[in-house]
Structure 1
Amino acid sequence: MSQSDAILDRLMSLHPKVIDLSLDRMHRLLAALDHPERRIPPVIHIAGTNGKGSTQAMIRAGLEAGGARVHAYTSPHLARFHERIRLAGQLIDETLLATTLEECEAANQGHPITFFEITTAAAFLAFSRVPADYTLLEVGLGGRLDATNVIDAPRLTVITPVSIDHTQYLGDTLPLIAGEKAGIIKPRTPCIVAPQDDEALMVIEARAARLMAPLSASGQHWTARRERDSLVFQDENGLLDLPLPNLPGPHQIDNAGTALAALRALGASADQTRAAVTRAEWPARMQRLTQGPLVEAAGPNAELWLDGGHNPAGGQAVAATLAAMPRRPTHLVCGMLNTKDVLGYMRPLAAQADSLTAIAIPGEPNTLPAEDTANAAQEAGLATRTAPDAETAIRAIATASPESRILICGSLYLAGRVLRENS
């Protein structure tokens, strides 16, 4: 165990709940640290239900192509905690992470604080000490009461598509959830809005109007669409004819449009907009796996893919991606958390997959038992079975259908474990 792992384990015990949405504890700790959030480079704050990570990755690729030094904060991590904090283009190193976490732990003085709150404070502290041109800040959960929402005057806010998820924390209707996401909008600060359902857009527009925040919304102020093998983006400044996003899936057209609208608001050049769609890297979003024991288990004639989507909108995105691929036998290996709308995730996939093998997520206390995942898949119309782990599932699929497309899916926690073992 590394030094930072030991500290992170201690920080997990500072609050009885994993999630407790409030800004009070965050403000207290940041004050004790002399407000590092006030000394970080200009912030681009990103909220939404789906597409936050991909959109952030494209914005970062565009900014860095122009020579900018960019901090980035994202969650959850997949293989190592260090992935959450990127300093001027590089993942935070072990020594700096450990010392920064210890400094926050000392400043907190044992007071109750959630793991996400104290580690977000550590990210702000690190960002404040390394020179950069921009800070890309991804919301953890919601927006209004998220630990990242302590930036009084960001340079830009971005809201990716809003859908139903985390209802136990954000509300059980689209307008309620949209209201939480729109909580990142700040007075007179430009806001980029991805394609939204009308119910969500009305809430976002109302908050922006109250705060006199200039809105740049998909379908009104900009459009992004696929035309043959090109991405066509158009806004009031003109038209861009670009390559298709290198991140796979039809949903990445909308994410790319959102990123391009943000970059245009920041004055990006033509080269930067092209780099945004051709150079972005974002693991576990329809990622083709090419090495490791699971690839070997699949055999030489199979395709092995990985995706961390886990809500109904994520299921729709995966289904659309599979539908756009050349047809071949498609089999899912799925593990999910017990907090998710499992049936809502499964339904869009039923038309695109020949079977689903359910597994539990190893080492995850909130995993849904494989039998429960299989029952939901069966209700959604999928042929189902269970397996004790991903490798067993993949070997069974490969034996029965050697030229399959196999997709491991259902959870970022499962995706993280797969990447740790197959990278």
Structure 2
Amino acid sequence: MKDFAASEDPAVQAQLDRLAALSLPQGRLGLDTIRELLARVGDPQKHLPPVFHVAGTNGKGSTCAYLRAIMEAEGLTVHAAIKPHLVRYNERIRIGGKLISDHELAALLKEVLDLGEELGPSFFEVTTAATFLAFARHPADACIIEVGLGGRFDATNVMERPAACGIATLGIDHEAFLLVPEEGAPEEPMVRIAFEKAGIARPGAPLVTQTYPEELEAEIALRASLAGAPLHMRGRDWWAEVNEAIEYRDRHGAITLPLPQLPGRHQGDNAALAVAMLRHQDRVNVSEAAMAEGIRSARWPARLQLLAQGPLTELAPAREVWLDGGHNADAGLAIGRHFAGQRLHLVIGMLANRYPQAIIDPLEGQLASVTAVPIQGSESHGAEAFPGARWASDAADALRGLPDDGLPVLIAGSLYLAGKVLAANDEIPD
């Protein structure tokens, strides 16, 4: 699957066209190509500000959003590498709080693509090299890097000693990549996922995690020990109760923090992980006041986002329109918890390698209607994947076809679909 991107800037689009022609050669895994590509552009990964590296099946993007908001509330200059982009490729590279400019983006991509052409790098390897090059060229107090796929063989996994590494929630996802049989790797699927995510552990770098079933915690502990990474696991080394506030404690003491503005109880857990990462490292100083302010101010588009008034939501007047890019079982459970006991309409579009029931089943008995849509530009499920659902050409068509009952609408199933919805409603991430 390719990560499609487009730009209104001709210079950027010329490089995005080159990126779109790249693919991961069948059967090639490992970090050799990204290391060689980085060497050709001066090994920028060796010249980064303190790095906060975050993996996980769900919650890693939100954890990165809290890390960024907290450090910026402290007055620090922060770079951030987040994926995937929703509307513009520029969203992947945030320099000192602002999206990379089209001019710098075009130049960086051209530089990396020219120098690494005969290596046959992937979309993600070129993106990672360009990101690290940008971060190394702009001074900052810290940088936040989200893992793209897995951890062990993700192109970002080349830092020698991050300030801290974090692992968010774990679940089954990207089976075609992460569950391929491999000698020496665990056979049980969830343990294998833990094995892959824990591959970001680095000697001397704190590895901070959520709590997991016993066999997963044992696997992560083993990988941390083998890597020489100090392990700080929720329920063993730090604790957080999420109710009317976040009651957090660790060896440094106890603090009370506000709940995030982002909807969903799981967001309190993601915020707690960000706090734990900051409190278990010693390269960036952040006050409790900044932690509180960052948790309150953090924003993360397309994760249980209530859409504002715009060209798209005007097609569904007098009702709430929610957007969530979640596409796996864990995301479905979070959506189900948020809308528990509430009747709603579901508009769903999913990539062909995803499972519609992951989102539909947690809402069983609550759905007034289901409307399925394609995802233009991506290989997505057709109408046959959604038995009993109405088919619409896009999200706008889906909203126009709803009954006038005032019930809320959830548009869900894919971050690719979410990007198109945000663009259609003039809510472009900045």
Length-normalised TM-score, structure 2: 0.91
Tell me what 1:205 maps to.
221
Where does 1:231-310 land on structure 2 (aligned, <5 Å)?
Answer: 231-266=246-281, 267-299=285-317, 301-310=318-327
What SS does structure 2 have at the residue aligned with 1:282? Answer: coil
Tell me what 2:95 maps to.
87
The structural deviation recorded for 1:345 is 3.3
In the alignment, the residues of structure 2 paired with residue 245 and residue 167 of structure 1 have an alpha-carbon distance, to the nearest angstrom, of 31
Structure 2: 5+ residue runs without aligned partners? 1-7, 180-187
Tell me what 1:386 maps to.
391
Q: From 13, 21, 30, give the equivalent of 1:22.
A: 30
The structural deviation recorded for 1:79 is 0.7
CA deviation profile, 1:112-167 (whole Å, cap 9, x unmatched): 11111111100011011000011111111000000000111111100011110111
The structural deviation recorded for 1:24 is 1.4
In the alignment, the residues of structure 2 paired with residue 74 and residue 197 of structure 1 have an alpha-carbon distance, to the nearest angstrom, of 28
The structural deviation recorded for 1:354 is 2.8
Equivalent pair of 2:207/2:230 in contact (CA under 8 Å) = yes
Tell me what 2:407 maps to.
404
In the alignment, the residues of structure 2 paired with residue 105 and residue 118 of structure 1 have an alpha-carbon distance, to the nearest angstrom, of 7
Where does 1:3-402 land on structure 2 (aligned, <5 Å)?
Answer: 3-15=11-23, 17=25, 21-171=29-179, 173-227=189-243, 229-266=244-281, 267-299=285-317, 301-323=318-340, 328-364=342-378, 366-372=379-385, 374-375=386-387, 384-397=389-402, 400-402=403-405
CA deviation profile, 1:47-106 (whole Å, cap 9, x unmatched): 110001100000111111111111100111001000000111111111111111111011
Equivalent pair of 1:23/1:145 in contact (CA under 8 Å) = yes
In the alignment, the residues of structure 2 paired with residue 71 and residue 414 of structure 1 have an alpha-carbon distance, to the nearest angstrom, of 26
Equivalent pair of 1:14/1:110 in contact (CA under 8 Å) = no
The structural deviation recorded for 1:353 is 2.9
The structural deviation recorded for 1:414 is 0.1
Equivalent pair of 1:312/1:346 in contact (CA under 8 Å) = no
CA deviation profile, 1:221-279 (whole Å, cap 9, x unmatched): 2222233x322222222222222111111111211110111122244211121023101
Amino acid aligned to 1:322: F
What SS does structure 1 have at the residue aligned with 2:242? Answer: strand
Equivalent pair of 2:78/2:97 in contact (CA under 8 Å) = yes
The structural deviation recorded for 1:396 is 1.8
In the alignment, the residues of structure 2 paired with residue 291 and residue 22 of structure 1 have an alpha-carbon distance, to the nearest angstrom, of 45
Runs of at least 4 residues off by over 6 Å: none
What SS does structure 2 have at the residue aligned with 1:8? Answer: helix
In the alignment, the residues of structure 1 paired with residue 27 and residue 399 of structure 2 have an alpha-carbon distance, to the nearest angstrom, of 34
Residues 355 and 223 of structure 1: CA distance in aligned 2, closer, same or farther (over 3 Å): farther
Equivalent pair of 1:335/1:370 in contact (CA under 8 Å) = no
Structure 1: 5+ residue runs without aligned partners? 379-383
Identity %: 44
Length-normalised TM-score, structure 1: 0.92
Equivalent pair of 1:62/1:273 in contact (CA under 8 Å) = yes
What SS does structure 2 have at the residue aligned with 1:53? Answer: helix
Residues 173 and 293 of structure 1: CA distance in aligned 2, closer, same or farther (over 3 Å): same
Equivalent pair of 1:335/1:367 in contact (CA under 8 Å) = yes
CA deviation profile, 1:14-61 (whole Å, cap 9, x unmatched): 336599542111011111112111111111111110001100000111
Tell me what 1:381 maps to.
none
What SS does structure 1 have at the residue aligned with 2:339? Answer: helix
What SS does structure 2 have at the residue aligned with 1:135? Answer: strand
Residues 164 and 136 of structure 1: CA distance in aligned 2, closer, same or farther (over 3 Å): same
Count of aligned pairs: 407
The structural deviation recorded for 1:322 is 1.3
Amino acid aligned to 2:344: T
In the alignment, the residues of structure 2 paired with residue 125 and residue 16 of structure 1 have an alpha-carbon distance, to the nearest angstrom, of 21
In the alignment, the residues of structure 1 paired with residue 44 and residue 276 of structure 2 have an alpha-carbon distance, to the nearest angstrom, of 29
In the alignment, the residues of structure 2 paired with residue 385 and residue 394 of structure 1 have an alpha-carbon distance, to the nearest angstrom, of 12
Residues 133 and 360 of structure 1: CA distance in aligned 2, closer, same or farther (over 3 Å): same
CA deviation profile, 1:315-341 (whole Å, cap 9, x unmatched): 001111112xxx653111000011113
